[in-house]
Amino acid sequence: MIRKARVSDIKTIQEIINSYAKKGDLLPRSLNELYENIRDFFVYEEEGEIIGITALHITWYDLAEVRSLVVKKKGLQGIGTSLVRECIREAEAIGTVKVFTLTRAVSFFKKIGFKETDKSLLPQKIWGDCIKCIKFPECDEKALIYDIAIQT
């Protein structure tokens, strides 16, 4: 089941994100940052356990970012796709016209309808998060964008 995150989920969300951040797969997030951005987060819960998370972060009037996508159990088909589609639905519902992501999972996002784009076309505002990355400034992620108007 996909649902919006609750305050009681934040410590679990942080544990999941930061375990992947240690491997260089995600940016680390502080508890403060997560509490401040709780409304961005969706969780996939199964039998009381959070096994997937993602967030939709608004970056500008027409642009939002899918970030912190994790499915912590391997072999579970469709959970990541469902979480990203939920972000797209919310972006459309609030009037955002484009959704982007920075990722190494290019083929996964392309299957959902994202297209590769040049990072320089995204607002400089997004690079504030990049300073927190252990790979900065040698980023190995690709920028992909989903244009809601074209896809719907």
Residue 47, domain CATH: 3.40.630.30
Per-residue model confidence (pLDDT) at position 135: 58
135 burial (CB, 10 Å; 0-12 / 13-18 / 19+) is exposed
Print the domain residue range for 52: 2-151
- The number of distinct structural domains making up the chain is 1
Q: Write the CB contacts of 139 (distance below 8 Å, at least 6 apart in sequence).
A: 102, 119, 130, 133
| pLDDT of res. 141 | 77
The yes-or-no verdict on residue 26 having pLDDT over 90 is no
In this structure, of 54-58, 73-77, 90-94, 132-136, the range with the lowest mean pLDDT score is 132-136
pTM: 0.89
Angle at 58 between CA 118 and CA 142, to 5 degrees: 25
Residue 126 confidence class, pLDDT cut points 50, 70, 90:
low
